Amino acid sequence: MIKKLKKLGLKLTPQRLAILNLLEGNTKHPSAEEIYKQLKPQYPSLSLATVYNTLEVLARAGELQEIRINADKRHFDPNPAPHTHFLCRICESVHDLDAGPIEIQAPYNINGYLVEEFTLYFYGICPGCLERERSKNQ
């Protein structure tokens, strides 16, 4: 990971390492604000702008991916490989969701449109909220 940053010609700053470290293996798909709030106690000088800058740089370098499943805010996934996501409309959590093989392979041409990438997002209710609803309605 450190090697990757260097390879990209990026400076190794404590802020970047902290953000990378927080995201490593993280399956919660946090927003920039959430990342900021979680790191702030440990890095009191941390600025929200730095979080945005770092996420932007890392996303452009292909080290993570931005998830635009929520109209209100972006979420971030340390796994840059294309895969599908699910947004719960009750608790607003974002989950990985394997919907089986998806045959779309970008880039390709369709009706004269050059398709470079695509997003497939699922919306509904997550298992936790389904359970909670079930308990309530008893």
Q: Which of the choices a second copy, DNA, none does residue 79 contact, using the CB cut-off of 5 to 8 A by kind?
A: none
d(CA 16, CA 54): 6
For the chain, the C-alpha Rg in angstroms (whole number) is 18
d(CA 27, CA 45): 26
Counting contacts by CB under 8 A, is residue 106 touching a second copy? Answer: yes
Which single residue is written with the structure tokens 């996420």? 55
Contact with DNA (CB under 7 A) among 27, 28, 33, 122: 33
4 vs 133 by CB, closer to DNA? 4
Counting contacts by CB under 7 A, is residue 62 touching DNA? Answer: no
Q: Which of the choices a second copy, DNA, none does residue 21 contact, using the CB cut-off of 5 to 8 A by kind?
A: none
DSSP conformational letter for 95: E
Contacts of 7 (CB under 8 A, 6+ apart): none
What is the contact mask toward a second copy in residues 58 to 97, using x (rule: CB under 8 A)? ----------x--x--x-----------x--x-----x-x
Three-class secondary structure assignment of 50-73: HHHHHHHHHHHCCCCEEECCCCCC
CB of 94 to a second copy, least distance (A): 12
Interface positions with DNA (CB under 7 A)? 6, 10-16, 31-33, 43, 45-50, 52-54, 56, 72-74
